[in-house]
Every structure is written in C-alpha cells, then in structure tokens.
A and B are shown apart, each in its own frame.
Chain A
Amino acid sequence: MTFFDLARRNVSRHWLRSTLAVIGIVIGVIAIASMGILGNSIGLMFEEMVTDVGDTIVVYPASGSGTMAFTERQVSDITRAAGSNRVIPFASTFDTVTVGETKSGAMIYAIPAGDIPFLLDKEAGTYPRDTGAGCMIGSKLAENSKTTGLKLGARIKIGSDTLRVTGVLTERGMGFDINPDYAIVVPYRWYSNHYDKDEYDQVIVKVRNINDLDAVREAIEEKMNRREDVVNVMDTKAILESIFEAADSITVFLMGIGAISLIVAGVSILNVMMMSVTERIREIGVLRSIGTRRNEVMRMFIYEALILGIVGALIGGVLSFCTGYLMTAVLVGSPDYLYNIKSILYIVFGMAFGIVTSAASGLYPAWKAAHLNPIQALRHE
C-alpha cells in the first residue's frame, strides 16, 4: 500500500467518473495521432506521385511577355545557357484520335525523337524514329484501351495521317514537366509536318549534377531575360519543397485540431480532480493530521491524474493505430503509410501529449489539496 495505491483505489472508487475522463483523453489522443498520420500520409502520397526528385528545370514562356512559344533560335539559346546538360524541347496538343472504329480525344506530346529515351522509359517495343510514322503510348492509356485495341503495333489515325504504335511507356506518375501516362508521344518532326508548326511550348533541362541546378537556372534566366522577361524558369526542387511545406502545414493544422480536443479532455480531468479534492477535504484533513506531509498529499493526487492520463493514452494509442489504419486505407488508399516511422511517431506523440496534459491538469488540484489547512479540513462536513 503506497500513495500510488491510494490514488489507484480512488480512481476505481469513482469508476464512472474516471471512465468519462479517460474517454476524453482517449478521444484527444486518437484525434492528435490520426490527424498526424493523415497529414503525414498525404505528404507521403505527394512524394510518391512526384517522380522527378529535383533534377529537372522547366522553362516556359513568361506570361504577359508576348512570347507564346519558343522558336528554334530561342531553344538553341537555352541549350547554350544550359551548358552540357541535356535540353529537351517539346510541344503538346490535344486532338481527336481514331483507333479502329473508336474515336476519342488524347493528349499528344511532341518530342524530338532522339531526346525521348532521355526523358521517358519504355516498357515494351521500341522508341520511334524521327523519320518514321511511329509513336508511343502511355502505360495507363494502354491499360485503359484494351477494348479499343490501342496497343503495341496498333494503328492510330490522327487527322488524315496514320501512326503505328512502336512502344509503350513505363508508368511515370505525376510530373511537373509532362504527364505521358494517358498521352501519346510522337516525334517532333512528324508533329511539325502534320500541324505545320515549328515552335515549342516548353523546354525541359535535365541537370546532371543536382548541385548545378541553381547555377543552370540562373544562367538560363540571365541569357533569356536580358531586356524583358521572356521565360519563366521553375525547378522541381523548389516545387517539391513548397509541396512538402504545404503537406507539413496541413499536418500541423490537423494536429492543432487534435490538440484542441486533448485540451478539452485536460479540462475534464481538471474538473474530475477538483471534484475529487472537494469531496475528500475531510479525508485530506485526516491524512494531514495523522502525519502525511504536503508533498505526499500532492503526489497522491498527481498519481491520480497520471493514472487517468496513462490509461487514456494507452487505450488511445491502440485505437489510434486502428483509426490510422482505417484512415490511410480508406482516405489515402494505402495502409502502408501507417507503417512509416513518422506515422508511428505521431501515435507516440499523441500519447505523450495526453499524459502530459493529464499531469498538468492534475497539478492545480493536487496543489490545492496539499495546501488545505488541516484544522479546517478536519472540520469540513
């Protein structure tokens, strides 16, 4: 029998009250942990969707500059500014394509045939040549077009011309430059002949050494924007950073909501503890008069708050794991995000926050109990 034991007995003496207080903590811990997990999973999802990890610079016409597309001359200026790094200009359009009897709309990317292998990986077939009438299709497009017969070797009619599918691309995910998964990739020369165009929409620069990224970016800006802003340059590193920042602030915001519910739970513990002190004033008087010191009384009540907090945090931790599983599985689509170390840390953080909140809520009632005047407390009815 110790002070902890006394605290434990008092908690179980008022089991309904204690249970309600524990439920408050449980909800708070779940809220904080699952919000953290949700935010983290969103971040992880972004990370997975973005294939390029920061080695790409995208150059596009500056808005309001009068430049709508890049001429060959401008492209070669950019190429010069980019030094030894590979520069891949491309154009894109949307057009009606016919496969067999089926007509549908599709995104078309036109890239110089020689550059395609440096930008896109193939899953099957071969890359098209500049001289032939070949094209490649995105992996998702191929997957979704089984019924229409759009597959390796099929013939696609665009306008009056016919292209043969020479290859299928590997799935690339969401990119900042081009998104070829649902698109058709044609050699630029064919595009230029077919649509009678000789300009490029954007230019992609693949930077070999990631440390050169800023230097290359500056060189391009300096070269192109000498008199007025002709181009805008964005690098994926900066975009990635801003996306992760956004994901982080989503996490913080969601956890803030969780924290509020935990603070509410803390107030309920404070309330329970105040009740516990008020109805035991006489008992405290007895304990003090037969020789229990102030800090011992204080300890007893803090233990009481801690018991509520720890029980709540443990139950909350287990339930957060379940909630986290459900949430990542349903909302984000993959429970794997839960097994990420950061997600687990959010559960631990939620539990710790719950325990600390409980202990903090117990401090004032405990202090109050310890500083009761024993004579008055003894007389209390």
Chain B
Amino acid sequence: MPVIRFDNVTKVYPLPAGDVVALAGIDLDIEEGEFILVMGPSGSGKSTLLNIMGSLDVPTSGEVTIAGKQISRMTDDELTLMRRDHIGFVFQQFNLIPLLSVVENVEYPLILRGRKSGSRERAEEVLRSVGITETHFTHKPGELSGGQQQRAAIARALVNSPDFLLCDEPTGNLDTKTGTAIMDLIAQMNREEGKTVVTVTHDPRMTAYADRTIQLVDGRVV
C-alpha cells in the first residue's frame, strides 16, 4: 500500500474575484522508500499539494490517504495527531523553537506523544545520527549555523519515526555547499533507513537525488 495516495484531488480557494483552482484533479501514489521531488513554477500548486500532504489542509474534493487513513473529513485534532505521529516536517526557514535548546527542540515531538522516560536519550541519539556534535546540544538554535540548524530540524522531523519526511525547500536558505550536505543527509536517511521523502524544490540539481520527479503546472501533474 502506498504511503501517500491522492485520488482525483482538487483544491479550490473561493475568492471574491472568482474561484482559484490550486489543484485540479491530482492522482498520485507514493510508495514506501521512495524519494520524490515535486517541482513546478510559482503558482503551480506546489504549496497546496505540500499542505495537503502534510495534513495541514484538506482537499475540496477527492480523497487523500496518508498512512492508510483518509484525511478529508478529519477534525483539527485528528489532523494534528496525524502530523505528530506520521509526518516529519523540514522547513526552508528551519523553524526551530527559539525558547528551547537544540536537544529540547528534538525532544519536543516525543513529549507531545507523552513519552517521558528515555526521550532525552532518543533525542541525543537522533541528533548524533544527523551529525550534530554533543557540545551543541544545549545551545539555543540561534547560536548554530544555518546548516546545523537544518540538521537539528531534520532530527526533530525524524525523532518520532514518521512514515515520511516532507521537506519544503530544505536548502533554500543555505549556500550551495551546505545545501548539498543537507541533501546528502536526506538522501542518506532515504537510502540507509528506507525513509520515504517528499521534497518540494525549485532547485533542478536535486533531481539527481530523486527516484521520481513530479512536475506541477497549473494544478496538474504533467
């Protein structure tokens, strides 16, 4: 069974000037262990696709199945638990919580799941696996370089063992060298741990990492 299935998904935003069709009948299957790239010009519906895949939004029509669950009629709390337990988010802006230290940021999703004992050890283990040195664990995110922050963010996304990683321009705020290192890290998680990865990007160099590239134009897969 695919990790993510889109079945004739449309998303329409009603605006006073007329309806805007962001997604116009998307059919999509993403299998376990795949590395998928989503590309397309601005306004092609990439963000909408990402939001729906990330259970941040629900489709206007059609059905989305994530980890075996249909999300169309989920309540806000059910969608939130879906994100917490099945999806690992990696953002362009890293988006670590500035109030928390690096290791606490990674620990946070574990605590949301109500895990108390061993959560610190698990967070440290994941941090080490993404290449953060122990001396940085107790630093605040702002004290780290962009590349290190993105590594910590990837650790946070991985800590709850999600069904897939959802990356939104993960290298968009990084220089080429650091960006490549981050892509290598994501690819490594995909190859070695078999983690399913969906990455939205503008960067054509990334196609080299992907098993498959989905091109979106005007809300359709081409």
Please, how many angstroms separate the alpha-carbon atoms of A13 and B99 in the complex? 8
With contact pairs A1-B100, A291-B80 given, residues A286 and B95 touching in the complex (Cβ less than 8 Å): yes
Partner of A288, one of B51, B80, B157: B80
Nearest-neighbor residue (CB-CB) of A285 within chain B: B95
Chain B nearest Cβ from A354, distance in angstroms: 26
Please, how many angstroms separate the alpha-carbon atoms of A276 and B83 in the complex? 25
A293 with B77: CB separation less than 8 A: yes
B111 with A289: CB separation less than 8 A: no
Instruction: Kindly supply a per-residue 1/0 record for chain A positions 1-38, scoring 1 wherever the CB is within 8 Å of any chain B CB and 0 otherwise.
Output: 11000100110010000000000000000000000000
Whether a CB of chain A sits under 8 angstroms from the CB of B85 is yes
Chain A nearest Cβ from B197, distance in angstroms: 17
B51: which A residues are within 8 A, CB to CB? 375
Please, how many angstroms separate the alpha-carbon atoms of A296 and B85 in the complex? 16
What's the interface size class on A, roughly? 20 to 34
Whether a CB of chain A sits under 8 angstroms from the CB of B84 is yes
Summarize B's interface: helix, strand, loop or mixed: helix
Whether a CB of chain B sits under 8 angstroms from the CB of A164 is no
B97 with A289: CB separation less than 8 A: no
A290 with B89: CB separation less than 8 A: yes
Whether a CB of chain A sits under 8 angstroms from the CB of B156 is yes
Instruction: Kindly supply a per-residue 1/0 record for chain B positions 1-17, scoring 1 wherever the CB is within 8 Å of any chain A CB and 0 otherwise.
Output: 00000000000000000
B56 with A1: CB separation less than 8 A: no
Whether a CB of chain B sits under 8 angstroms from the CB of A294 is yes
- Interface residue ranges of B67-121 to A (CB < 8 Å): 76-77, 80-81, 83-85, 89, 91, 95, 97-100, 104, 107-109, 111-112
Please, how many angstroms separate the alpha-carbon atoms of A62 and B83 in the complex? 86
Instruction: Kindly supply a per-residue 1/0 record for chain B positions 154-168, scoring 1 wherever the CB is within 8 Å of any chain A CB and 0 otherwise.
Output: 001100100000000
B81 with A290: CB separation less than 8 A: no
A289 with B109: CB separation less than 8 A: no
With contact pairs A13-B99, A283-B97 given, residues A290 and B156 touching in the complex (Cβ less than 8 Å): yes
Chain A nearest Cβ from B3, distance in angstroms: 18
Please, how many angstroms separate the alpha-carbon atoms of A9 and B140 in the complex? 13
Whether a CB of chain B sits under 8 angstroms from the CB of A374 is yes
Whether a CB of chain A sits under 8 angstroms from the CB of B57 is yes
Chain A nearest Cβ from B60, distance in angstroms: 15
Partner of A375, one of B56, B91, B156: B56
A290: which B residues are within 8 A, CB to CB? 83-84, 89, 108-109, 112, 156-157
Nearest-neighbor residue (CB-CB) of A288 within chain B: B80
Instruction: Kindly supply a per-residue 1/0 record for chain A positions 273-307, scoring 1 wherever the CB is within 8 Å of any chain B CB and 0 otherwise.
Output: 00000000011001111111110100000000000
Please, how many angstroms separate the alpha-carbon atoms of A2 and B110 in the complex? 11
Please, how many angstroms separate the alpha-carbon atoms of A10 and B100 in the complex? 10
Nearest-neighbor residue (CB-CB) of A379 within chain B: B47
Partner of A1, one of B54, B91, B111: B111
B111: which A residues are within 8 A, CB to CB? 1-2
A2, A6, A290, A374: most-surrounded residue (chain B CB, <10 A): A290
B99: which A residues are within 8 A, CB to CB? 6, 9-10, 13, 283
What's the interface size class on B, roughly? 20 to 34
B81 with A293: CB separation less than 8 A: yes
B108 with A289: CB separation less than 8 A: no
A375: which B residues are within 8 A, CB to CB? 51, 56-57
Partner of B108, one of A1, A9, A288, A374: A1
Nearest-neighbor residue (CB-CB) of B112 within chain A: A291
A282: which B residues are within 8 A, CB to CB? 95
A1 with B104: CB separation less than 8 A: yes
Please, how many angstroms separate the alpha-carbon atoms of A229 and B50 in the complex? 94
With contact pairs A1-B111, A6-B99 given, residues A291 and B77 touching in the complex (Cβ less than 8 Å): no
A289 with B56: CB separation less than 8 A: yes
A13: which B residues are within 8 A, CB to CB? 99
Nearest-neighbor residue (CB-CB) of A297 within chain B: B80
A2: which B residues are within 8 A, CB to CB? 111
Chain B nearest Cβ from A303, distance in angstroms: 13
Partner of A296, one of B89, B91, B104, B112: B112
With contact pairs A288-B80, A290-B83 given, residues A374 and B56 touching in the complex (Cβ less than 8 Å): yes
A288: which B residues are within 8 A, CB to CB? 80
Please, how many angstroms separate the alpha-carbon atoms of A375 and B55 in the complex? 10
B156: which A residues are within 8 A, CB to CB? 290
Chain B nearest Cβ from A103, distance in angstroms: 83
A378: which B residues are within 8 A, CB to CB? 56, 91, 95
A293: which B residues are within 8 A, CB to CB? 76-77, 80-81
B108: which A residues are within 8 A, CB to CB? 1, 290
Chain A nearest Cβ from B170, distance in angstroms: 15
A6: which B residues are within 8 A, CB to CB? 97, 99-100
Chain B nearest Cβ from A107, distance in angstroms: 75
Nearest-neighbor residue (CB-CB) of B84 within chain A: A291
Please, how many angstroms separate the alpha-carbon atoms of A255 and B14 in the complex? 54
B107: which A residues are within 8 A, CB to CB? 1
Q: List 18 A–B pairs whose Cβ atoms lie within 8 Å, in order of A's numbering.
A: A1-B111, A2-B111, A9-B99, A10-B99, A13-B99, A282-B95, A289-B83, A289-B89, A290-B84, A290-B108, A290-B109, A291-B85, A291-B112, A292-B80, A293-B76, A294-B76, A294-B77, A378-B95
Given contacts A290-B84, A291-B83, A291-B84, 9 further A-B contacts (CB under 8 A): A1-B108, A286-B95, A288-B80, A289-B54, A290-B112, A293-B81, A374-B56, A375-B51, A378-B91
Pick the 6 closest A-B CB pairs, nearest first: A291-B84, A286-B95, A9-B99, A291-B83, A293-B80, A375-B56
